[in-house]
Amino acid sequence: MESDPKNIYRVDMPVSPSRRRLQEEEERNAQTKPPPLFGPSDAGAPSRSERRRRRRSSRRQHPDDVARSSNKWIWAGLTLVVLLYCAALAFNRFRERRQRSTASPNVPVTASPVAAVPTATGGSPSSPQTLVQASPTVTEDIASLKKALSLVNSVASNRDAERASAEEDILRRAIALAPDLTEAHRELARLLERKKDHEGAEAEWRAVLSRSPDSVAARIRLAAVFLAGDQPANALEMARWALEDDPYSSESHAIAAAALGELQQPREAIVHLRRLVAIDRDDLAAQNNLGVAYLTIADYREALLVFQEVLRRDAGNSVAFYNLAVCYARQALARDSIETLKLAERKFGRPFVLSWTQSADFDPIREGAEFRGFVGSGSIASSDAKQTPSAEGEAVSIAEGAAPERAASEP
C-alpha cells in the first residue's frame, strides 16, 4: 500500500492495474502541449504589428553609423578625384612627349648647353652648324644692349641744356643698338619735351606705350605733349585713359580740365577741377582755376566763395585778388570791385594794380564815376584783352605751369 509523503493523513486505497494505466495516460496527456493551430512553422512567430515595429526600427540608424557611412563616401569621392587628377597628368605628359616626338623626329637630343640657344631668326636650331653660328649673334645682341643701357644711363645722370643735341644723338644711337629698349625711348621723349619738339616727343611716347601699354606715367606725359602741341581733344582722351587706372592722379585731372577749357566746355572742366581740389587742398592754383571756371559759366556765388577761400589761406595771392575784383565787376558791383583793387594796391603797389584795370574784364564798370575816380582821369589806356590775362585765360596759363603771381602780372 503506497502513502503520500506530503499528506500522511490521506489513506490510499488500493488501485487496480487498469485504473493505474488510465491515470498514467491522463498524466502523460496533461504534460504534452497540444499542437499549434497554424502548423509547426508558425510556432513562436511575431504578430503583424510587432513585425512592422521591427522594420521601422531597422530603418533608423544610429548617429555613429550615419557618420561612419558619410565619412566612407567622402573618402571614396576624394580618392576618385585624386585618381582622375593623376590620370589627367599622365595623359598630358604622354601627349606632350608624343607631340615632341612628332614635331622633330630627326633632331638628335644632346646634352650640350649650346642646343638651347635660339638662332637669329628666333627658331630652333636644326643642325650643329646652325648652333655654332647662333652663339656669336646672341653675344653681339647682349653687347649692344649693355652698350645701349650705358648710353642711356650716361644721359640720365648728366642732363644739361647746352648738351641737348649731343644727348639726343647718344639716345638715338642707343635706340639703334636696341630698338626695344623702353628706357631709351622714354629718355629721348623727355629730352624732346624740354626742347619743345612736340612731334618728336609724341612719337617717342607712342613708342613707349607700344611696348608698355600699362604705363600710366607714359599716358600722362603723352597727354601733356598733346596739350602743349595744341591737340586738346587728344590730350583729353589720353588723360581720361590715365584716369581709368589712376583716378587720383592730380596731373591727369589738371590736363583734362585744361583741355576742356580749350574745348570751350567749362562745366565738364569743373568736375575735374573739383576732384583736383579734393585731392590736394593746398593747391591754390587749382582753386583759382576752379573759380575762373565758375566765372566762365557766370556762377558768381561759387566763384566768390572760391576766391575768398584762397585769400583766407594766402592773403598775398595776386591772382585771387584780380579774379575777385573781376567777379564783382562782372556783376556790376563797382564799389566792391574797387575796394578789392584798393586792398590789392596796398599789397602790390599802385602801378601793378593799375595794369589790371586795362583788361576788358573791367568793361562793365569802366564808365562809372567810382572806377574813373580810382584810376584817375586820363590814365586809362584803351582796353586790350591781350595786355593782361583775362579770367578765361587764367586757367590755361596756370595749367601750363606759370606761377599765379606771374600769370596775373604778365603785360
Phi, psi angles (nearest 5°) of residue 3: -125, 145
Instruction: Supply the DSSP string of 156-168, one letter for each residue.
Output: HH---GGGHHHHH
Which residues contact residue 206 at a Cβ distance below 8 angstroms, ignoring those fewer than 6 apart? 222
Q: Measured between alpha carbons, how far is 147 from 153 in angstroms, rounded to an integer?
A: 10
Q: Do the domains 281-411 and 137-213 match in fold?
A: yes
pTM: 0.53
Q: What is the pLDDT of residue 163?
A: 58
Q: What is the pLDDT of residue 169?
A: 80
Instruction: State which residues of the chain have pLDDT below 50.
Output: 1, 103-136, 138, 161, 377-411
Angle at 325 between CA 322 and CA 326, to 5 degrees: 85
Which set of grid coordinates corresponds to residue 155? Answer: 644721359
Domain ranges of the chain: 137-213, 232-279, 281-411
Fold of domain 137-213: 1.25.40
Q: What is the pLDDT of residue 8?
A: 54
Contact 392, 296 (CB under 8 A): yes
Instruction: Supply the DSSP string of 230-296, one letter for each residue.
Output: T-HHHHHHHHHHHHHH-TT-HHHHHHHHHHHHHTT-HHHHHHHHHHHHHH-TT-HHHHHHHHHHHHH
Fold of domain 281-411: 1.25.40
Q: What is the pLDDT of residue 106?
A: 42
Q: Measured between alpha carbons, how far is 24 from 244 in angstroms, rounded to an integer?
A: 117
| AA identity, residue 3 | S
- Among 308, 300, 270, CA closest to 286: 270
- Among 317, 248, 325, 257, CA closest to 284: 317
Q: What is the pLDDT of residue 393?
A: 38
